[in-house]
Amino acid sequence: MDTVFIEGLEVDTVIGAYDWERGIRQCLQLDLTLCWDIRPAAEHDELDKALDYAQVAATIDRFAAEARFELVETFAERLAQKLMSEFGIVWLRLRVTKPGVNARARALGVEIERGCR
């Protein structure tokens, strides 16, 4: 099966387990790979048969704007569920990176895979 990807998407959200984090918005970086059959769109160069990247990104932006989670793990799991449900995606890989949270590491985060290819 084919995949499409969105790499380096930055969103601002309320995320964190500490009290000081609950009062601010923080940047998360997302890398997303989605299983999507590109053949129907590619066959006749038809945009309306392609996965709408702008809609996927807009859905992620809205989700992040409304999210209030303590854990990056919860953010990733709930976002994966939403994307699979709204776009009919059968498999995805989502990497959520929270930069600047540890002085000794550039970033921390999670990577999940959901569904079957």
Active-site annotation holds for 82: no
CA distances to 3, 17, 102 from 65, rounded to whole Å, are: 26, 18, 24
Indicate the residue type of 19: D
User: Roughly what angle, to the nearest 10 degrees, separates helices 53-66 and 72-87?
Assistant: 140
The active-site residue out of 19, 98, 104, 117 is 98
Q: Which residues are catalytic?
A: 98
